[in-house]
Chains A and B, each alone.
Chain A
Amino acid sequence: EAGVAQSPRYKIIEKRQSVAFWCNPISGHATLYWYQQILGQGPKLLIQFQNNGVVDDSQLPKDRFSAERLKGVDSTLKIQPAKLEDSAVYLCASSLSWGEAFFGQGTRLTVV
């Protein structure tokens, strides 16, 4: 079965610019997660979707970050405007509700 697809793999932007990441989960997976992983740390949950509804976005900096899940399938995560501290790897994962979670390769963002 195809895994979780993320694009782009790498992105370099200047501070105050905007950026968007895309995630295509495993077919049929109702739950989709976006995580931020700063170098040397464990992933931090930004937002969790169940189908196209938000389950948890308590750690999403809503003044600059937004996310949506179209028709309960693909998802995009946007940052506008970006700050230097947003430099990190952004990971997308999906699962069958409470089942095993599978991760994409991630998008490495560098803000200069």
Chain B
Amino acid sequence: KQEVTQIPAALSVPEGENLVLNCSFTDSAIYNLQWFRQDPGKGLTSLLLIQSSQREQTSGRLNASLDKSSGRSTLYIAASQPGDSATYLCAVRFGDMRFGAGTRLTVKP
């Protein structure tokens, strides 16, 4: 069964810290992996898409890596800000697209 797991479920950090969010998946035969941000009561905003042939993608302060062989991806956020507070979701496209439960991030001023 194809499953996606995100650890930790919640994370609280002071402003300015660098942080890492983790995503693991059970089947290495993936097409791509996408990181999303979700603010309370809102839809999902795409942050980064990594194709199966890629190792990492960067956008501003965000860097996502992909290691298919170990079934892992990480989202690195540099110099965190209070505006980064949200739930971060990892979605893996096996054929269909499956989500983890998310990591709820709070960045304290």
Residues of B35-49 whose CB lies within 8 A of A: 36, 41-46, 49
Residues of A within 8 Å of B, CB-based: how many? Answer: 22
* Pair A56/B101 contact, Cβ less than 8 Å: no
Q: Does more than half of chain B's interface fall in helix, strand or loop, or is it mixed?
A: strand
Residues of B89-109 whose CB lies within 8 A of A: 89, 91, 93, 95-102
Separation of A99 and B6 alpha carbons in the complex (Å): 22
Given A103-B43, A104-B43, A106-B43, does the pair A43, B34 have CB atoms closer than 8 Å? no
* Pair A45/B101 contact, Cβ less than 8 Å: no
* Pair B99/A56 contact, Cβ less than 8 Å: no
> What's the least CB distance linking B28 to chain A, in Å?
16
* Pair B46/A102 contact, Cβ less than 8 Å: yes
> What's the least CB distance linking B29 to chain A, in Å?
13
Cβ of A43: which chain B residues have Cβ within 8 Å of it?
Answer: 44, 89, 99
Separation of A108 and B40 alpha carbons in the complex (Å): 12
A residues bordering B, Cβ < 8 Å?
A: 33, 35, 41-45, 48, 55-56, 91, 93, 98-106, 108
Lowest 3 A-B CB distances belong to which pairs?
Answer: A42-B99, A103-B44, A42-B101
Can you list 20 A-B contacts (CB < 8 A)?
A33-B97, A35-B99, A42-B6, A42-B101, A42-B102, A43-B99, A45-B96, A45-B99, A48-B96, A55-B95, A56-B95, A91-B43, A100-B46, A100-B49, A101-B34, A101-B91, A103-B44, A103-B46, A105-B42, A108-B41
